Structure 1
């Protein structure tokens, strides 16, 4: 069974929304890349009840994690340069440690 992850690329901080300084222009490509290995969401506000883990760029402003889901922090520059292999390596390493 695939792990259910959500990329938090924009977040509700309570008073306002924040996003990566340079937004991903092609979020669908990000979703397609990771869907091979994970059940992927790009919409935290809509899907927070269905996902198990949050993938959060380190420089994203704090947000309200109502479900207290585990957060996997990834350097935001990997999103900007679209280093999906680098992002995947961090996610896979997190799950490897969790499974030990």
Structure 2
């Protein structure tokens, strides 16, 4: 299962300017945690290769590929609090529906 986490669409549409620089560290942590279970990327240019796209709620309005992809919208607070276990539970539920 190839999973793409899109946490920003472009540098102009980062979550908030004050936390944008922390986003690079968060992306690394997401990749490290979820790569134990899935083939993971945080590179938005790889959307065509993804089986599932995971979006924080704050990014969802800017994501234009919803009709062509399986999309899981996750509460932004799960990313901000690094509650990766809860995100994984949601992914597992979603991937069971896809399979």
| Fold in common (TM above 0.5) | yes
| Corresponding pairs, count | 93
Separation of aligned partners in 1, 2:74 and 2:67: 20
**Where does the alignment leave 5 or more consecutive residues of structure 2 unmatched?**
none
Higher helix proportion? 2
The 3-state SS of whatever aligns with 2:4 is: strand
Separation of aligned partners in 1, 2:98 and 2:70: 11
1:52-88 residue CA offsets vs partner (Å, 9 max, x unmatched) = 1100111213222188111011101100111100110
Pick from 5, 8, 11 the counterpart of residue 6 of structure 2: 8
Pick from 13, 37, 41 the counterpart of residue 18 of structure 1: 13
The 3-state SS of whatever aligns with 1:97 is: helix
TM-score (norm 1): 0.79
The aligned counterpart of 2:43 is 43
Higher strand proportion? 1
The aligned counterpart of 2:71 is 71
